[in-house]
Structure 1
């Protein structure tokens, strides 16, 4: 029988348990993405609490493309020393830390008119209605190299790995999507062509960091609308990523703020679950490929998580909002107190002062 509190390999990382803090935009950096004392404290508390692996909030890879206020930067070498301090803090508590990187693109409305926002095609993002600049080949190369250069900085900063964000309608996801990607060149049309941008990013990152550095990819299970990326396509993408050497895949979805209303709905033949929204999708993928699968979304009950661990091939389980409400949750569960997390999944933790639980854990203001 597999247990949640056992040493487990994730790529080349040895993780003390199967819980991870999934990437969370904390909204607490300086204006240009530098770390603050509040952020150092948040990550120290997460590491203290016994979370096996922490995935940072997503960091922007080019200075001119900051998709949200208060998000981390990794766009030049000035960040390396402060991230060395961060990774040292986390490692002091035997926790591991991976930096997530993304090009946000048209998913947000932050600083519109003040920046060029790239997109595969001039198609409005469905939630923001923002239209980006269709990328020329030189733009594509610029972003590919930006991902790779960011990866090298991440490695030099002492992180245990990198997660490339290919979900949530950010730029990579848009290239994968037949709805957003209307290109007629080698980056559009067939799934092989739509995958090309992601694969070129991965290959360039791997070239920069070498074979031993752990690389994760975050993917949307399905776009959950007619004409979008389907689950059958996502399965094929996962198989290709395993083939080229990706170390693990995180399965998620693009249902921010809509999860409760979508529970029970069926997309591509599978149902959104109340706890572990994307479990049915992650379970199928975990049966079809042989690298670790991570999934996220609505987990609160350790008994249910443990049952899923032993009834599927899913390896790791991500939590975010429950850890905002109850920073010591993993330590509590490990001690034998298996009551469900107190988090209400109300999403009131997103505030203008930063992301913190406004109901149960109001100490960070």
Structure 2
């Protein structure tokens, strides 16, 4: 057994990493329009270098204009870009960090609006590669791209990077050459394993020549593409050994590709460190020829140390965790694990923003992407601020306002802080939200915030206090429709929150509402052995979920035998729980009797206090769900914006 820990240093060639944590390449959409390094991108990386990470890896960086897949995305395709990249490496070095760059060409994943060219293919694969505006690369173009990778390495060295990573994962060009599914060529660059490896191995050799013997060289590799005929763990082991022989120092193990990207940035239903078994197999196959790092929900010291001490990897990759808390490594080194703002794996602010072609943000950290521009020092004129409601919005507002020096009073009508976080943490795989709530509570305890629990604020009380600012974050409550009143009074119908807290009696359950809450409740009850039916007015289940989490949830519902009634409307419900419905064609019928009915019909803003304050002409700012029920990210970001405007 190894005794190394995540905070142990590591030396590769002549470069010493201060700990075993890699911040991987993650697209930000912070770059300048033409591929320049922007001030925003520099400040983002500078903050994480100052936070103690062992290596800052710049996002996928195009070695040739034909290979751009992000708009905007970083480029290293000409000498023009060296100056901006040098500013980035300088900032990272000044902050005490090491800088890495990931050299990439997107291949079939190129976006013509970003590249200005048609989509270059390794092979045309019906159903897998683009048909319109695409073409198969000829041999001369392939050799030209090998040269482009070598030139990118030369520029990376000139720009002051400490590490060069070759992007051979996630379905981009190099992985397309290596994959039996995507490489159907019959020339020297296909036809056999050796032919498929010709391009990546030549790229490795040429980059080693261009970058020099002192340069640390990584190779990013998907352990499994999770597609029939694609790269498997067995094949990854063989690939890893060959790239190590060609000059790679570390194999950076990830997983998935565009069609299976739920494994690339997985939601919390996959366990922490889930990819370590694969990285362990690859490391064993390498047998010391190269080191290994692994990505896959490595969020805590416990997970990282388990992976390292068991010999499954030599370094660990913490991506979204560092988007959430740039100071995570310093906090680990100082033994302040409980002070780490936890990533909740929601993908809403990072991956979700990219899907909308927006710059990334973080659901739980509203300062991500605004490094250097948001206020961080106490204000010159502190104000008396009263915040009503201690859900995510209220707690974020209280912590942020106190940090800026304001005098803050936080009122909560219940005995427990957290608001709807307490309910949101009840479904399977959502215990990470308990970590988030505990972080908020701990930060409040360390602050100067006056907390008043079991205290329902009144208009008269607020008028008498005469605060300088009132922030109302009274949240939302589950919709209780009139047609269900008798059934709820009889105890036949309950809200989803109550069903999660107190398991309904009987064996059969009907859930009204197939959104996020309804589907998560269905999974929880089905896992307890209940026979579950979900009724939904819309044509799709959980359309409000992030796609990656939704894939896993729907798969779980199917595996647990949950039945679905889509395009179906409730027309009546009596006190005994008999439900009649109407389908999309207007046909009405009574559903078979069930033992319990669960209401998951959304949330309604708790804005009574807002109405009363407005009527009394008392100025206030509403936050979060009391304005419009939404997601945790909406509440936290609205709260932070309001505090910055005080």
TM superposition score normalised by structure 2 = 0.53
- Tell me which residue corresponds to 1:347: 347
1:278 is the counterpart of 2:280: no
- Tell me which residue corresponds to 1:321: 320
- Tell me which residue corresponds to 1:153: 155
In structure 2, distance between residues paired with 1:241 and 1:4: 26
* Structure 1 residues 299 and 126: CA distance shift in structure 2, 3 A: farther
* Structure 1 residues 90 and 114: CA distance shift in structure 2, 3 A: closer
In structure 2, distance between residues paired with 1:260 and 1:154: 27
Match of 2:34 among 27, 32, 35: 32
In structure 1, distance between residues paired with 2:41 and 2:30: 7
- Tell me which residue corresponds to 1:65: 67
SS in 2 for 1:38: helix
Q: What does the per-residue CA deviation read over 1:300-336, in whole Å, with 9 as the maximum and x for residues that have no partner?
A: 1211211211111411111111111112111112211
In structure 1, distance between residues paired with 2:298 and 2:44: 20
Asked if the contact 1:106–1:125 (Cα under 8 Å) also holds between the matched residues in 2, the reply is no
- Tell me which residue corresponds to 1:269: none
* Structure 1 residues 113 and 220: CA distance shift in structure 2, 3 A: closer
In structure 2, distance between residues paired with 1:356 and 1:110: 25
Shifted more, 40-49 versus 224-233: the winner is 224-233
Asked if the contact 2:54–2:98 (Cα under 8 Å) also holds between the matched residues in 1, the reply is yes
Alignment RMSD (CA, Å): 2.2
Q: What does the per-residue CA deviation read over 1:216-253, in whole Å, with 9 as the maximum and x for residues that have no partner?
A: 11111121121112221111111112222211110111
Give, in angstroms, the shift of residue 204 of structure 1: 1.4
Match of 2:363 among 341, 355, 358: 358
Asked if the contact 2:68–2:110 (Cα under 8 Å) also holds between the matched residues in 1, the reply is no
Match of 1:101 among 100, 103, 113: 103
Give, in angstroms, the shift of residue 259 of structure 1: 6.3
- Tell me which residue corresponds to 1:288: 285
* Structure 1 residues 259 and 237: CA distance shift in structure 2, 3 A: closer
Q: What does the per-residue CA deviation read over 1:132-168, in whole Å, with 9 as the maximum and x for residues that have no partner?
A: 4211110101100000001000000000021010110
* Structure 1 residues 243 and 113: CA distance shift in structure 2, 3 A: closer
TM superposition score normalised by structure 1 = 0.91
* Structure 1 residues 262 and 44: CA distance shift in structure 2, 3 A: closer
- Tell me which residue corresponds to 2:547: none
* Structure 1 residues 95 and 249: CA distance shift in structure 2, 3 A: same
Asked if the contact 2:183–2:190 (Cα under 8 Å) also holds between the matched residues in 1, the reply is yes
Q: What runs of 5+ residues in structure 2 fail to find an aligned partner?
A: 371-646
Mapping for residues 1-365 of structure 1, pairs under 5 Å? 1-109=3-111, 111=113, 114-123=116-125, 126=128, 132-254=134-256, 255-257=260-262, 274-289=271-286, 290=288, 291-339=290-338, 342-350=342-350, 351=353, 352-362=357-367, 364=369
SS in 1 for 2:177: helix
Asked if the contact 2:266–2:297 (Cα under 8 Å) also holds between the matched residues in 1, the reply is no
* Structure 1 residues 97 and 129: CA distance shift in structure 2, 3 A: farther
Q: What runs of 5+ residues in structure 1 fail to find an aligned partner?
A: 265-272
Larger radius of gyration: 2
* Structure 1 residues 72 and 211: CA distance shift in structure 2, 3 A: same
In structure 2, distance between residues paired with 1:195 and 1:122: 18
Give, in angstroms, the shift of residue 35 of structure 1: 1.3
Asked if the contact 1:107–1:130 (Cα under 8 Å) also holds between the matched residues in 2, the reply is no
Give, in angstroms, the shift of residue 24 of structure 1: 0.8
Q: What does the per-residue CA deviation read over 1:338-361, in whole Å, with 9 as the maximum and x for residues that have no partner?
A: 236511111112324311203323
Asked if the contact 1:121–1:132 (Cα under 8 Å) also holds between the matched residues in 2, the reply is no
Q: What does the per-residue CA deviation read over 1:179-232, in whole Å, with 9 as the maximum and x for residues that have no partner?
A: 111111121121111111001111111221222211111111121121112221
SS in 2 for 1:256: helix
SS in 1 for 2:278: helix
Asked if the contact 1:325–1:356 (Cα under 8 Å) also holds between the matched residues in 2, the reply is no
Asked if the contact 2:123–2:136 (Cα under 8 Å) also holds between the matched residues in 1, the reply is yes
Give, in angstroms, the shift of residue 129 of structure 1: 7.3
Asked if the contact 1:58–1:99 (Cα under 8 Å) also holds between the matched residues in 2, the reply is yes
Q: Which has the higher contact order (CA 8 A, sep 6+)?
A: 1
Asked if the contact 1:40–1:86 (Cα under 8 Å) also holds between the matched residues in 2, the reply is yes
In structure 1, distance between residues paired with 2:116 and 2:37: 23
Asked if the contact 1:61–1:146 (Cα under 8 Å) also holds between the matched residues in 2, the reply is yes
* Structure 1 residues 125 and 169: CA distance shift in structure 2, 3 A: farther
